Amino acid sequence: MSNSVYFDFCAPDADIGPALARFVRELNYNLKEGQANSMPLDRLPSASKTIQHVRVVDSHTGGEPTRVVISGGPELGNGTLAERVTRFRAEYDWFRSAVVNEPRGSDVIVGALLCEPLDRSSAAAVIFFNNVGYLGMCGHGTIGLVVSLKHLGRLGVGGHQLETPAGAVTTTLHPSGEVTVSNVHSYRKAAKVSVAVPGFGTVCGDVAWGGNWFFLIEDHGFDLSMKNVERLTSYAWAVRQALKNAGISGDRGQEIDHIELFAPSAVPGVNSKNFVLCPGKAYDRSPCGTGTSAKLACLYADGQFGEGQTWRQEGIVGTVFEGRIKLQNGQVYPSITGSAYVNGEADLLLDPRDPFCCGIRG
């Protein structure tokens, strides 16, 4: 029996129409020009006054929120997920902003747009996005997605394949409610990379892929605690900018947009504690699934971790993920186990008369 979940994005309320599309383009221009309040209502086309409904389910994974778009999203066609992300970015970036940015969202929320999968044996396809752009993969978001679909009665206990822009991932919903995500191939690109960071001196770290690009720093001298979040954020942001300015990148010139700091955990039985700064300058409340995957790849490369072992990773707020690896043809495939909880269902209302219909954009 197929585990496929089908979603109808061709419903009338998902079609914003040409008039509203023109308005959105105009509004986006005004927002970029810093004129967010300069859109007079009398310029709205009469056909664009229909309020669009977007149905979402909210959850958090280890404290980090995920907002799954169940219906009302844009029609992105039937191409590959990479092609659909390109169309999303080019034609419907206003929708991304409307769903996760203020006043409906916040810098912390990760959105997850459900799409029809290419492989009918997949439970769903998903595009993850945040306050500034799009993510290849999101570990905490995948756990939140599975729990949200379980909440809606669309998934049951057992294994389910999900398609992401970074590749297909296998998930397991356990009877306990925990979710294991078998992530994409993860690896370390470069070890002990040094970069000069203004105000902080030379910083050394590893460049690794875990579904997103990370710069992992163990020798940083900071106390990883909530009381230190502002200092940690400033430091990690400075590192990210320094990497960009120095031309240090992931494969094919992709930007390293996640910075991860590590320290020993004070919790018995937990291997490490981390602080992860995400692309939009918000810190990850969870231990970060893709970041933990990148860490496991580095540990394996250093001969410090292998199959059959369990790595317990604490995040900045104290929640814990469990990580393991499998080797296939000498390549590392991490799996991450964590818990998520549904904490809301809502209809977002996109009213074209609202000057912040498409969110407040920086």
Of 10, 115, 204, 288, the active-site residue reads: 288
Cα 122 to Cα 82: distance, rounded to the nearest angstrom: 17
Query: Could you tell me whether strands 124-129 and 134-135 are parallel, antiparallel, or unpaired per DSSP bridges?
Result: antiparallel
Give the sign of the dihedral formed by CA 235, CA 240, CA 241, CA 246.
positive
DSSP state of 283: B
DSSP state of 295: H
Q: How many Cα neighbours within 13 Å face the side chain of 44?
A: 18
Catalytic residue, candidates 115, 138, 278, 357: 138
Alpha-carbon 269 to chain mean position: 28
Please check whether residue 208 is in contact with residue 297, taking contact to mean a CB–CB distance below 8 angstroms: yes
CA terminus-to-terminus distance, the chain: 46
Distance of CA 342 to CAs 54, 146, 178, Å? 17, 10, 13
Look up 115 and say whether it is catalytic: no
Grouping H, G, I as helix, E, B as strand and the rest as coil, residue 92 is coil
CA distance 354 to 97: 14
Contact between 75 and 10 (Cβ < 8 Å): yes
Whole-Å CA distances, 175 to 92, 109, 156:
38, 27, 9
Task: Find the helix or strand (DSSP H, E) in which 58 lies.
Answer: strand 52-61
**Helix (H), strand (E) counts: the chain:** 6, 17
Residue 6: CB atoms within 10 Å: 11
* Residue 278 appears among annotated catalytic residues: no
Residues recorded for the chain: 362
At residue 74, what are phi and psi to the nearest 5 degrees? Answer: -75, 150
Cα–Cα dist 129/355, whole Å: 22
φ/ψ region of 229 (left if φ > 0, alpha if ψ in -120 to 50, else beta) reads alpha
Catalytically active residues are 138, 288
